[in-house]
Homo-oligomer: A and B are copies of this chain.
Amino acid sequence: MDHGGDLISYESYYEGELIDFSSNINPLGPPEGLGEILINSFTTLESYPDIKYRELKKSISNYLKCNKENILVGNGAVEIINNFTILANRVLVITPSFSEYEKRAIVHGKPVVRMTYKDDFSIDIKALENIVEKDDLLILGNPNNPTGLRVDEKTLIEIYKIIKNKEAYLLLDEAFYEFSPKDYDSIELFKFSNYENIGIIRAATKFFALPGIRLGYGCCSVDKVKELEKVELPWSINSLADAAGQFIFKDKDYIEKSKDYIEEERNYLLEELSKIEGFKPYKTHTNYILIKLSAWNEEYIFNFLLKKGIVIRKCSSFTDLSNGYIRVAIKDRNNNMRLINGLKELNRKEKD
């Protein structure tokens, strides 16, 4: 199991609807009114999408507050990561992290250089400096998946300086950006540099609850945009995703409400989890929680919860995580309680 969200593979193990704690989607669902926008866009299916995605890029540039000439779009964040990889020399990853970083490098025959996060999942800056070489592509989850942590502003600037000095490239995968604290916005932070040697990727997938629509976007230098255009597939974003991307970012109320909601549920879930024996939740800056297991392994927990209709993410498929870890999404209160009750029951059952 390389990815979460594959509920179909487990449907036969439970009568009733499975609850997906394995993929990390905003529990409030997409912004209201999207359905109507999509219906009004059905006729656009009969033409090719704008090959330059002019209106979509305008909408994203308003949302991200950067020039439309700096905007990238892709069929999910993963396609943009893939395209950066094609242009890279070597790919640097800090593990554990999203498996596609390495996978895309391997697909394109690029050497992968790994370093590991420290025990607290922070980055060993000295070690990083020793590893980075000219033309390397460092892909950094920010917040990182599955660890849940975001690099603080000062450290991020430090990392950028190392990358810049070595003439390498820093690609921030910020697919979970909106869930994280409002202390800094990397797109604003790196405006001064005109995004030289840095690219920032985000997506409609998680925060806007649209994993099915496949819309990733990002921001980088104008030169890099042009370089990427040479490797991009034409029309990679479907017309309805194009239309959705011209709508969802305008809904400021939805955005604020979602942020507040996740913060509240995050606090609830962290507190409740910390009370349960055998589970050590890590601090998180986003809408999922990595949990260290001390009494059972991932397989046991997975199967126990599956019988209750709950699907979690086993973590042994992440480099540098063993079968002693699971990851759970932060969902709505009702489902979060179901998860907590499930885990409590496990404890009770064991004590009987």
- A234 and B100 form a contact (CB under 8 A): yes
In this complex, what residue of B is CB-closest to A242? B212
Q: How far is the CA of A113 from the CA of B261 in the complex (A)?
A: 57
Is the beta-carbon distance between A47 and B35 smaller than 8 angstroms?
no
Q: Judge whether A258 is part of the interface by a CB distance below 8 angstroms.
A: no
Within A35-92, the residues touching B (CB, 8 Å) are 35, 38-39, 42, 44-52, 54, 75-76, 78-79, 82, 86
**CB nearest to A204 among chain B residues:** B45
Task: Specify which of B107, B213, B233 is in contact with A45 (CB 8 Å cutoff).
Answer: B213
Contact in complex: B212, A46 (CB < 8 Å): yes
Q: Is residue A257 contacting chain B, with contact meaning CB distance below 8 A?
A: no
Residues of B near A38 (CB, < 8 A) are 38, 42, 240
From A74, which residue of chain B is reached at the shortest CB distance? B233
Rounded to whole angstroms, the CA-CA distance of A224 and B35 in the bound complex is 38
Q: Does A30 contact B (CB under 8 A)?
A: yes
What residues of B have a CB within 8 angstroms of the CB of A79 in the complex?
Answer: 233, 236
Are the C-beta atoms of A209 and B8 separated by less than 8 Å? Answer: no
- Chain B residues closer than 8 Å to A230, beta-carbon distance: 107
Q: How far is the CA of A86 from the CA of B82 in the complex (A)?
A: 13
A214 touches B235 (CB 8 A): yes
Q: Once the chains bind, are B209 and A46 in contact (CB under 8 Å)?
A: yes
Contact status A47-B100, CB under 8 Å:
no
Which B residues are in CB contact (< 8 Å) with A211?
45-49, 235
Known contacts A235-B211, A235-B214, A238-B213; A30/B45 CB under 8 A: yes
Q: Tell me the nearest residue of chain B to A44, going by C-beta.
A: B212
Q: How many copies does the complex hold?
A: 2
Residues of B within 8 A of A46 (CB): 25, 29-30, 209-212
Are B236 and A214 within 8 A (Cβ)? yes
CB A226 to nearest CB in B, in angstroms, measures 14
Interface size (A, Cβ < 8 Å)? 52
Q: Which residues of B contact A42 (CB under 8 A)?
A: 34-35, 38
Contact B234 A78 (CB under 8 A): yes
Task: List the B residue with the shortest CB-CB distance to A107.
Answer: B231
Which residues of chain B have C-beta atoms less than 8 A from A238's C-beta? Answer: 75, 212-214, 238, 240-241
Contacts of A2 in B (CB 8 A): 234
Instruction: Give CA–CA (A51, B49) in the complex, Å.
Output: 24
CB-contacts of A1-44 with B (<8 A): 2-3, 5-8, 20, 23, 25, 29-30, 34-35, 38-39, 42, 44
Q: What separation, in Å, do the CA atoms of A82 and B232 have in the docked complex?
A: 10
**How far does the alpha carbon of A239 sit from the alpha carbon of B214 in the complex, in Å?**
8
Q: Is the CB of A76 within 8 A of B233?
A: yes
Known A3-B48, A75-B236; 12 more pairs at CB < 8 Å = A5-B48, A8-B52, A38-B38, A45-B212, A46-B211, A75-B214, A107-B230, A108-B108, A211-B235, A213-B240, A214-B236, A238-B240
For this complex, 24 residue pairs linking A to B, each with C-beta atoms less than 8 Å apart, are A3-B234, A8-B50, A8-B52, A8-B54, A25-B46, A29-B46, A35-B42, A44-B212, A45-B210, A45-B213, A47-B211, A49-B212, A75-B238, A76-B234, A76-B236, A86-B107, A86-B108, A211-B235, A212-B238, A212-B240, A213-B238, A213-B239, A213-B240, A214-B236
